[in-house]
């Protein structure tokens, strides 16, 4: 499933949950990888997850000063350190409060994914996954 810009704008107004995460512009590469891996391991077929960068945990839009650089940083954070590779795309959403980068992660047929550790989503958190979690999921 490939969400439209309107779909992403609507999700921007929702709270964090299993498939929506918010991070500020200063998010560290390790936190990006952890969230992307958790989403890739948790999103069911026919769904997608979104990591919004430039948004506070409270939903307040903080914006990203350089969206091109932020998108490049996301790719660099994940390309070499997530295995197997994770299908994702990013898009810039312009709002009156500032620009936000939306990173969309689709359901994966290559589970489990790792970034050193494997992660899954439990509610609005990315949690370390054990072998038991992957039995029947991979």
Distant-in-sequence, close-in-space partners of 48: CB < 8 Å, separation ≥ 6: 1, 2, 3, 19, 104, 105, 106, 107
Confidence of residue 135 (pLDDT cuts 50, 70, 90): low
Q: Answer whether 41's CB lies under 8 Å from 106's CB.
A: no
Confidence bin at 13 (pLDDT 50/70/90)? confident
Q: What is the pTM (predicted TM-score) of this model?
A: 0.85
Beta strands in 4-136 (DSSP E): 20-23, 48-53, 88-95, 98-106, 119-122, 125-128
CATH number of 5-134: 3.30.950.30
Site of tokens 């509610």: 123
pLDDT digits (tens, 9 = 90+) for 79-133: 878 889 999 999 999 999 999 999 999 999 998 898 877 788 888 788 787 665 5
The structural domains of the chain, with segments of one domain joined by +, span 5-134
DSSP 128: E
Query: Do the Cβ atoms of 20 and 49 come closer than 8 Å?
Result: yes
Q: Per residue in 35-78, pLDDT tens? A: 999 999 999 999 999 999 999 988 899 999 999 999 999 999 98
Average pLDDT of the residues in 8-18: 89
């Amino acid at each position: 499933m490939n969400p439209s810009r309107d779909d992403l704008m609507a999700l921007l107004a929702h709270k964090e949950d299993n498939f929506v995460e918010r991070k500020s512009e200063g998010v560290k590469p390790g936190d990006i990888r952890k969230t992307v891996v958790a989403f890739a391991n948790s999103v069911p077929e026919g769904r997608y997850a979104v990591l919004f960068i430039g948004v506070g945990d409270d939903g307040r839009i903080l914006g990203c000063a350089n969206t091109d650089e932020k998108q490049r940083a996301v790719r660099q954070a994940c390309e070499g350190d997530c295995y197997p590779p994770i299908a994702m795309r990013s898009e810039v959403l312009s709002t009156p409060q500032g620009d936000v980068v939306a990173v969309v992660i689709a359901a994966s047929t290559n589970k489990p994914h790792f970034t050193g550790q494997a992660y899954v989503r439990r509610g609005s958190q990315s949690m370390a996954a054990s072998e038991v979690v992957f039995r029947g999921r991979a």
